A and B are shown apart, each in its own frame.
Chain A
């Protein structure tokens, strides 16, 4: 069985093309069923996210035309599709899948969603019977590689978006965000996003203040928060543990004396101020006060950029891990390739049978040709019957991917898949068997006598 992966992603194709090929999660199962109905394709999986569409198939015989499948299925002409497509075969395809699952091929390296999306595709493919032994091993290998990258590197440890950096910083100050109060001053997309992120991560309640009271009311309704009148802002701002401000004010709204009052009223409990406004709403001198932590948009951006470069360094370590995982996967696949082992086992058993017949030739000469033929049939029958059960179990184990059983049978029969090693070990086995058989043969001779 061969492996082929075809697709396009954010590096090779513009969003206009990616969105034409995108498949909704609820349609994944149906699309995968259609994919494996193509001739030659035994197993298949479709990965469709906002940044990539990839088809992964295991096939017999000639290579399937996946590009033409995409052309037909999504009504995209091949000339506009072909330059954006990439194809990976065998170990290249395996490594690509590992990199995708481990988020090394993502737009934001290290983002955690992609592994969930691969698992979603796997579940959809399984539900329509498109996952057999080969794809099962490949995907389990990908999941295990991704997990190893997550646990052994810091690739996903730091935040790379402004909103998540704000949450991280808040956690560094307050530990848990549980029960913490957020005050949103002014309205802006970025500040709303940061507030929503903080609320999603456990912040207790939201206060909203805006020069336009109606706007504040509508935001309060949207976030289930409470309104603070803009005129009362300086009197009530100390109620908040986290203050996010993004007004269009040309002057500072919060100055050092305000912050000193906040700290006094809060009995020096720390306060985290996020100033997303340009021009800024908060006097940067405030950051000098003990207990006030002020971050403006540039500060948040620079933390995000620094975290991103950290991820780049970790990605190099992750690549090394994936190379090791690929080697491990290939060793496993080779171990499960039992065809040479089956041939060897049968051939060596036949060698032993022939050798034993030759040894007994002098004693069998007196037999008639019919009797000799009966002995021939008898010995062959014994060997076949003896090998039947181990061969059956070996085939089943290989089919199931049960490496432990395969190795156990190999060890029991003393072969490692290569004929030369097998010959040596089985010759030795035969000699040992002969030595131990000697008394039995003597007994037989005595009986004849």
Chain B
């Protein structure tokens, strides 16, 4: 049954994506009115689907790529909804909603074939580790988006030509606040996630775990994150340089994500 809810959520994400584009680039206010309710409806179906999926599996942790993608999409939409309600802007929807749609398309095809069962996946630490890191990824995506929007709006205001196709960009101050707050949220989530991961690693693998490239990259990302936060906070860094910093962390984040392929210990296989 959870697949049905997920498929409905995917269809609604598709419609919400279209309405977000029409709301941001079009003139008719009807799209602005329907975009948020459709997104909320899609999110609710998605939550029901995720809960049912995990209850059926008798665990609270997403296992396998399909489940992780689905949960990441859910977190991205959650952040989008919080931003839309708090800052009254749908601009992030033109990226967040299609991204959520694309992320859930594959999971709607069926359960992941390459799944595994291990007693570890019922560990609370592991659940905390994965959920916190996924939330950090979602927050970082929004921080990067907000920084990019800031850059475009800054360029637009400085050029004084006011191209109409960029009218939808939110004010600079709004994007600065979103970029800062999502960055701080992402940092907290990442710290919690890495801390939980370290405890699990100490208990299950021992010091050898920390020689793995995936783990190294994770700590490099955390280090960069700390630097970025420090620089932004101490100098009030905005605009182009802020985008460079956010982009650097984002690229490392993608590397960390991709490093699963290289990792020898960051794998869970059935005993």
Contact = CB atoms under 8 A, between A and B. Distances in A.
A290 interface: yes
Interface stretch (B42-50, B129-137, B232-240): B232-240
Contacts of B164: 310
B158 A293 contact: yes
A154 B240 CA distance: 32
Nearest to A294: B158
B238 A291 contact: yes
Given A169-B157, A287-B158, A306-B162, A174 B172 contact: yes
Given A153-B27, A287-B158, A303-B162, A269 B171 contact: no
Nearest to A241: B173
A384 to B, nearest CB: 50
Given A152-B27, A291-B239, A303 B171 contact: no
A175 B153 CA distance: 12
B157 A293 contact: yes
A287 B237 CA distance: 17
A290 B238 contact: yes
B25 to A, nearest CB: 12
B160 A172 contact: no
Contacts of A152: 27-28
Interface in B139-194: 153-154, 157-158, 160, 162, 164, 170-174
B23 to A, nearest CB: 14
A414 interface: no
A60 B68 CA distance: 77
A175 B173 CA distance: 6
Which one of B157, B160, B237 has the greatest number of beta carbons of chain A within 10 Å? B160
B29 interface: yes
Contacts of A306: 162
Which one of A153, A266, A270, A302 has the greatest number of beta carbons of chain B within 10 Å? A270
Interface in B72-119: none
A270 B172 CA distance: 9
Interface in A263-312: 266-270, 287, 290-291, 293, 295, 299, 302-303, 306, 310
Interface string A172-183: 111100000000
B142 to A, nearest CB: 17
Contacts of B170: 175
Contact of A172 (B27, B157, B240, B241): B157
Contacts of B172: 172-175, 270
Nearest to A295: B160
Contacts of B29: 151
A174 B157 CA distance: 12
Interface residues of B, number: 22
Nearest to A288: B158
A173 B157 contact: yes
A47 B43 CA distance: 52
A289 to B, nearest CB: 10
Contacts of B240: 290
Contact of B154 (A174, A290, A295): A290
Contacts of B158: 287, 293
A224 to B, nearest CB: 25
B153 A270 contact: no
A291 B241 CA distance: 12
B42 to A, nearest CB: 26
A270 B173 CA distance: 8
A174 B160 contact: no
A310 B161 CA distance: 13
Which one of A153, A175, A267, A293 has the greatest number of beta carbons of chain B within 10 Å? A175
Given A172-B172, A174-B173, A270 B160 contact: no
Contacts of A290: 154, 238-241
B239 A267 contact: no
A328 interface: no
A389 to B, nearest CB: 42
A196 interface: no
Interface in B9-43: 27-29
Contact of A299 (B154, B160, B238, B239): B160
A291 B150 CA distance: 11
A310 B162 CA distance: 12
A266 B238 CA distance: 12
A234 interface: no
Contacts of A213: none
Contacts of B153: 172
Which one of A266, A268, A295 has the greatest number of beta carbons of chain B within 10 Å? A268
A172 B171 contact: yes
Nearest to A300: B160
Which one of B153, B158, B240 has the greatest number of beta carbons of chain A within 10 Å? B158
A174 B176 CA distance: 10
Interface string A122-163: 000000000000000000000000000001111000000000
B160 A303 contact: yes
A290 B170 CA distance: 18
A313 to B, nearest CB: 10
A268 B238 contact: yes
Interface in A64-82: none
Contacts of A268: 235-238
Contact of A171 (B171, B236, B237, B239): B171
20 contacts: A151-B29, A152-B27, A154-B27, A169-B157, A171-B171, A172-B153, A172-B171, A175-B171, A175-B174, A267-B235, A268-B235, A268-B236, A268-B238, A270-B172, A290-B154, A290-B241, A291-B238, A293-B157, A306-B162, A310-B164
Interface of A: 151-154, 169, 171-175, 266-270, 287, 290-291, 293, 295, 299, 302-303, 306, 310
Q: Which A-B residue pairs are the 9 nearest by beta carbons?
A: A267-B236, A268-B236, A175-B171, A175-B173, A290-B239, A175-B174, A299-B160, A174-B173, A173-B172
Given A174-B171, A175-B173, A302-B160, 18 more contacts: A152-B27, A152-B28, A154-B27, A172-B157, A172-B172, A173-B172, A173-B173, A174-B173, A175-B170, A175-B171, A268-B237, A268-B238, A270-B172, A287-B158, A293-B157, A293-B158, A295-B160, A310-B164
